[in-house]
Structure 1
Amino acid sequence: MLQTQSNKSSFFVKRPILFVIVVEVLLLIIVTVGGAIATIKELDYIAAIWVSFTPIALILVIYLTWKRKWGSLGFQSLSTITKQNWLYHLPLILVLITISLKGFEDLSVSKVIQFVSFTLLVGFVEETVYRGLILKAMLNVGVKAAVITSSLLFAVTHALNMISGQDLANTVVQIVYSLLIGVVLALLMVRGSNIYPLILFHFLHNLIQFLGPEATGVTYFDVIALVILVIYSIVLIKSLNKKTIKGSIAA
């Protein structure tokens, strides 16, 4: 979908770096306020995320509808994804299988439903912000800048877990892991310009993590997943060409 003249003259396009700063700052402010409210109300982690992410989701829906940006941010029919690009999404399934090998807890149906709704909300919000708004805005600067910026900000946001008392080793692994996932998903967005598979992966990835056993440290499965993501990133980088990049910027 080609940009209209109004989109070309928008703040989103004319001041991409400032736009990204505003988006990230607003996100952090809302999450911080939500966390403070959750602390005061003595809510658990999931409830705290609901308090923070629900208003963000509503703001995103209103903004994207008002600015008519759903299509330009990748909310398009799955039929727009070519067979070749579907093949490039397949390693995501390998990552999901790897982390699922850790096993699952014996949870009640109500708890599973709670995790499903919670992880779907997070998947929608984070993908729309990082692989939607931030990535697409930074594509006006360049593909490298877009991929690096969106991935780093995604990783930095997850680095906030360090404040929660998590040990340094686990936090470093989580930051590297989220950075690699950010790179992979950003590159897939550049290739295909469709955000739905990314939201689905993000949702399923987080759901598997929450349904699995409580983390007690870095496992072999975590290392395998990291290796897969490194190789995956290299393959995706090498797969990009001028035509693919030009198409992602115009979309």
Structure 2
Amino acid sequence: MFKKKKLLSYYGLNSLKKLELKNLLYFIPMAIISLVNLGFGIYINYSWQQILLISIAMLGVGFSEEILFRGFLMKAIMNKNPKAAILFPSIIFGIIHMTNLFSGANIVMTTLQVIYATFFALMCSMFFYKTNNIIPCMICHSITNITNIFLPNNLSIEYQCIGCIALIIPSVFYTWYLYKTKKCLVKIV
């Protein structure tokens, strides 16, 4: 549909080849942040078929959420108020993670996840705003989801808190870095 209506570029579905090498380097910190979960180990109690299906599902979640929040929602607000276009979808994305409470999740961990998801989304929004390329955001979001699924089940609440903080702090600093240093490649119409 996007291709047929010539909207691929508008929604940031640009080839990574269109990012100059120096702009592609801005993707590296996002990739590192998305791999933080691996520092806590991996617990796999699934067949290779289940691992494949879970990974495909998490890829789909990452891609669809990025299109929804960065592509549609952010672009809908961009021409009226670029700052709101960066903040509003990020806050909504974080708040949506409160739904984990309905499945019996711990309130402390859910609150930290909301904070982390908000700052991760803010980082992705700033990256998308500065580069007009949503593909790196989709990749990092998907990797984060996949590594989160395979975290060990027996991590103490303290280690889970440390993990969330280890994701929040670099996301905040990288968002600030992008905001302060990266020239915006997007032309607001």
Q: Same fold (TM over 0.5)?
A: yes
Identity %, equivalent residues: 24
Give 2:89's aligned residue: 150
1:234 aligns with 2:176: yes
Change (3 A) 1:240 1:138: farther
Matches of 1:100 and 1:129 in 2, distance apart? 27
Q: CA deviation at 1:248?
A: 4.4
1:86 aligns with 2:24: yes
Matches of 2:3 and 2:96 in 1, distance apart? 26
1:162 aligns with 2:101: yes
SS at match of 2:26: helix
Q: Indicate conservation of the 8 Å contact 1:95/1:228, yes or no.
A: yes
SS at match of 1:222: helix
Give 2:60's aligned residue: 121
Give 2:15's aligned residue: 77
1:205 aligns with 2:134: no
| TM-score, normalised relative to structure 1 | 0.68
Alignment of 1:44-63 (within 5 A): 62=1
Tell me the amino acid that sits aligned with residue 174 of structure 2.
Y
Matches of 2:178 and 2:98 in 1, distance apart? 25
SS at match of 1:72: coil
Matches of 1:113 and 1:232 in 2, distance apart? 31
Q: Indicate conservation of the 8 Å contact 2:35/2:147, yes or no.
A: no
* Deviation per residue, 1:175-227 (Å, 9 max, x gap): 00000011000000011111111111111111111122136532423222211
Q: Indicate conservation of the 8 Å contact 1:184/1:233, yes or no.
A: yes
Q: Which has the higher contact order (CA 8 A, sep 6+)?
A: 2
Matches of 1:167 and 1:104 in 2, distance apart? 21
Tell me the amino acid that sits aligned with residue 134 of structure 2.
I
Q: Which protein shows a greater Rg?
A: 1
Q: Which runs of 5+ in 1 are unaligned?
A: 1-61
SS at match of 1:75: coil
Count of aligned positions: 185
Higher helix share goes to which structure?
1
Q: 1:99 aligns with which of 37, 59, 77?
A: 37
